[in-house]
Amino acid sequence: MKRMTVYLIIAGVTGLSLSGCGFSREREQASSLKIGISVYDQYDTFVSEEISRLKSYAQEMEQEWDMTITLEVVDASQNQLTQNDQMDDFIKRGFDIACINLVDRTDASTIIEKARSADVPVIFFNRELVEEDLERWDKLYYVGADAFESGILQGEILADACEEDFSSIDKNGDGILQYVMLEGEAGHQDSIVRTLYVIDTIKERGYRVEKLGDEIANWNRAQAEAKMNQFWKSFGEQIEVVLTNNDDMALGAVDALKKSCGTRAEARTAGTPWPVIIGIDGTEVGLEAVQSKELLGTVLNDSKGQAEGMLELAHSVVFGTELPEEIELLDNRYIRLPYQKVTYENVNQIIWDMQMVTK
Ligand code: BGC
């Protein structure tokens, strides 16, 4: 079988080098890096953007590292058993490392056991497993972001806008923000934490809120549209704010509003008050919606930084090289990229930074 040449720990290797772990391939022999990647659902907008960024970065780094990088991406189609089988396949086919976007973040044990017995390191990403699971073996890592930060920043976007012009948001003038919430998957760390922190932040900034409705729409645009339709039927213009755990659901809310009362501009002309809508992610479509003011804002979930961090970490783990200085490996296991507020004022800059074509 292909797998690893056992590597003797070289005395004097310091810093963030992972070469002391006993599984790195000798650098001189490195001419290829084979990474098996399993995503929980290939139709998830954020995750698929992260994967395309990973592919572009891998192309760039093939030259820099002078090696062939193979990325095999498979879809677990929301089935944990399928994903467990995909891990078996990566092992059987001699992949150097696996990157796993868990279907069920509370059910990582089968993958961990398979990885450990075959000595194939795993980088989990985006769907964070519990710390005890990550600690079960020293060749397990996580790349993502701190969910609470995104909730806080989403709350700040609303509070900043209220500071600027409260009456344009508090349409009925009762001094309270009537809101509806569209949540991601139940049990996902980002849904739970974002939902809590956004409201805490708004209250901490001194604004009163009243929840009219709260529904799970599983990160999904069509489901969010359906839920927003129900909200609109029940509460209509009482809704002043739509808070959502991600951009796709924010755009689902926009879709519903457009069908009920036309575009934001048409609704304005007709005197129908559109609520403010805020997302999280800064996906390509999300950023466009901030540019067109359909969304008041979003919070950038740095898919580019996460993808780059993941590839750098994979390389470092497999070949025992040091991580670039700007990448911090917390507790020798975690890479977490910071979130960033995005509003109409800085959206073009963010698009530029994310190396998208500015429209
Ligand atoms: C993103 C969502 C995505 C989810 C998938 C979250 O971090 O914000 O857009 O659907 O991850 O796990």
Mean pLDDT of 28-32: 71
Distance 252 CA to ligand 1 centre (A): 15
Distance 166 CA to ligand 1 centre (A): 30
Atom of ligand 1 lying closest to residue 247 CA: 9
Atom of ligand 1 lying closest to residue 281 CA: 8
Q: Which residue has the higher pLDDT, 355 or 124?
A: 124
Report the share of the chain in percent with pLDDT over 90.
85
* Residues within 6 Å of ligand 1 by CB: 44, 46-47, 126-127, 188, 190, 219, 246, 280-281, 301
What pLDDT, on a 0 to 100 scale, did the predictor assign at position 25? 58
Residue 358 has pLDDT above 60, yes or no: no
The span from the CA of 264 to the CA of 281, in Å, is 22
Distance 208 CA to ligand 1 centre (A): 28
Q: Name the closest-CA residue to atom 3, ligand 1.
A: 46
Q: Phi-psi region for residue 17, left (φ > 0), alpha (ψ -120 to 50) or beta?
A: beta
What pLDDT, on a 0 to 100 scale, did the predictor assign at position 47? 98
Distance 26 CA to ligand 1 centre (A): 36
Query: What are residue 209's DSSP bridge partners?
Result: 177
pLDDT tens per residue, range 181-236: 999 999 999 999 999 999 999 999 999 999 999 999 999 999 999 999 999 999 99
Task: Give the closest residue to 109 by CA, choosing from 92, 124, 93.
Answer: 124
Phi–psi pair at 125, nearest 5 degrees: -145, 150
Tokens of 50: 């992260």
Atom of ligand 1 lying closest to residue 127 CA: 12
Which region among 47-51, 267-271, 351-355 has the lowest average model confidence (pLDDT)? 267-271
Residue 271 has pLDDT above 90, yes or no: no
Atom of ligand 1 lying closest to residue 150 CA: 8
What pLDDT, on a 0 to 100 scale, did the predictor assign at position 355? 73
CA distances from 331 to 120, 134, 308, 346 (A): 20, 11, 19, 33
What's the chain's average pLDDT?
91
The span from the CA of 346 to the CA of 312, in Å, is 28
The span from the CA of 188 to the CA of 126, in Å, is 10
The span from the CA of 164 to the CA of 339, in Å, is 23
pLDDT tens per residue, range 71-101: 999 999 999 999 999 999 999 999 999 999 9
Distance 225 CA to ligand 1 centre (A): 17
The span from the CA of 28 to the CA of 186, in Å, is 47
Sequence-ordered strand ranges (E) for the chain? 32-39, 68-75, 97-100, 122-125, 140-144, 176-183, 208-216, 241-244, 276-278, 297-300, 334-336, 340-343
State if pTM tops 0.85.
Answer: yes
Distance 220 CA to ligand 1 centre (A): 10
What pLDDT, on a 0 to 100 scale, did the predictor assign at position 268? 81
Task: Give the closest residue to 209 by CA, choosing from 155, 290, 246, 160.
Answer: 155
Mean pLDDT of 5-25: 37
Tokens of 128: 């964070």
Ligand 1: which of 99, 244, 246, 303 to mutate, judged by most atoms within 8 Å of the beta carbon? 246
Query: Predicted confidence band at 24 (pLDDT cuts at 50, 70, 90)?
Result: low
The maximal CA–CA distance of the chain, rounded, in angstroms, is 74
> Residue 46 in 3-state DSSP?
helix
Distance 302 CA to ligand 1 centre (A): 11
Residue 104 has pLDDT above 90, yes or no: yes
Q: Name the closest-CA residue to atom 10, ligand 1.
A: 219
Distance 50 CA to ligand 1 centre (A): 10
Residue 285 has pLDDT above 90, yes or no: yes
Distance 199 CA to ligand 1 centre (A): 19
Atom of ligand 1 lying closest to residue 101 CA: 12
Neighbours of 325 (CB within 10 A): 8
What is the residue whose two structure tokens read 């820099």?
64
Task: Give the closest residue to 108 by CA, choosing from 89, 90, 135.
Answer: 135
Residue 324 is given by DSSP the state: P
The span from the CA of 74 to the CA of 83, in Å, is 9
Query: Predicted confidence band at 261 (pLDDT cuts at 50, 70, 90)?
Result: confident
Query: Predicted confidence band at 269 (pLDDT cuts at 50, 70, 90)?
Result: confident
CA distances from 254 to 12, 68, 193, 211, 350 (A): 57, 43, 23, 19, 22
Report the share of the chain in percent with pLDDT over 70.
91
Atom of ligand 1 lying closest to residue 219 CA: 10
pLDDT tens per residue, range 121-156: 999 999 999 999 999 999 999 999 999 999 999 999
Residue 20 has pLDDT above 80, yes or no: no
Task: Give the closest residue to 90 by CA, choosing from 110, 73, 106.
Answer: 73
Atom of ligand 1 lying closest to residue 145 CA: 7
Name the burial class of residue 58, with classes exposed (0-12), middle (13-18) and buried (19+) by CB atoms within 10 angstroms of its CB.
Answer: buried
What pLDDT, on a 0 to 100 scale, did the predictor assign at position 13? 28
What pLDDT, on a 0 to 100 scale, did the predictor assign at position 87? 98
What pLDDT, on a 0 to 100 scale, did the predictor assign at position 7? 28
Residue 9 has pLDDT above 60, yes or no: no
